[in-house]
Amino acid sequence: MVHIENLTKKYGSKLVLNIQELNIPKGQSFGLVGNNGAGKTTLFSLLLDLIQPSTGHISNNEVRVDQSEEWKTFTSSFIDESFLIGYLTPEEYFYFIGELRNRNKADVNALLAQYKDFFHGEILGQKKYLRDLSKGNQKKAGIVASFIGDPEVVILDEPFANLDPSTQIRLKGIIKDLAARQGVTVLVSSHDLIHVTEVCERIVVLNKGEVVKDIETSTETLRELEAYFSENIAVAAASVENI
């Protein structure tokens, strides 16, 4: 579904992303982990054509994202709160997104009904504008908005951050369901290793813009990831001692 080739992104002389090749097949739930500055958000921004690659390109379902806008019809995303329109109520926002994705009110309402549990009665019918909702509730609205219009690719940057524990658990169920039953390609980034290993079939670890691990999730994965990230700390500590 998603095909990345020779992709690099430089800011000045600093290389922040360098991926030789990466393929994400249709219907895969794909997890991206890495420390801050590893290039997770950069990769997602490139995927959404919000920034320009320095070299290489990304194809989304055979569409080159930097050349055509066709990918927008089947791709949806929630990166951060800047994806929300603050002066709309959640309902208005959902309908607006629905409109852009050719879904009428009834369609949107039908979809929202499925996420009643997820909203936990804090989103719909609150008579509040999105800008007045708490961070967590804003996130809920943004995530659900990205499910409108039956997208084939869903991109969620740090979806678990700021959510309360119950909502995190519900979200995990939703993401698994999307990939397994509806054949949606889900791309998720997270700092929480437990969440990604639970949700994703495949996990890619980025470090300083490069793919350092590409794992099919198994029962061993969590330990492997934890080992990798603590090793990093050990290496850093060792190099400090050497000085």
Give the bridge partners for 207, in sequence order: 210
Q: CB of 15: closest distance to another protein in angstroms?
A: 18
Residues 20 and 183: their CA atoms lie apart, in Å, by 26
Burial class (CB in 10 A: 0-12, 13-18, 19+), 188: buried
Between 4 and 211, CB nearer to another protein: 4
Between 37 and 86, CB nearer to another protein: 86
Burial class (CB in 10 A: 0-12, 13-18, 19+), 171: buried
Residues 32 and 205: their CA atoms lie apart, in Å, by 6
8 Å CB contact between 51 and 84: no
Q: CB of 233: closest distance to another protein in angstroms?
A: 29
Between 95 and 115, CB nearer to another protein: 95
Residues that bind another protein (CB under 8 A): 48-52, 69, 72-73, 75-77, 79, 82-89, 91-92, 96-97, 99-101, 126-129, 131-132
Q: CB of 62: closest distance to another protein in angstroms?
A: 17
Give the bridge partners for 206, in sequence order: 211
Between 90 and 195, CB nearer to another protein: 90
Residues 197 and 121: their CA atoms lie apart, in Å, by 29
Q: CB of 159: closest distance to another protein in angstroms?
A: 15
Q: What are phi and psi of 226, to 5 degrees?
A: -65, -40
Between 131 and 223, CB nearer to another protein: 131
Q: CB of 157: closest distance to another protein in angstroms?
A: 11
Residues 175 and 101: their CA atoms lie apart, in Å, by 20
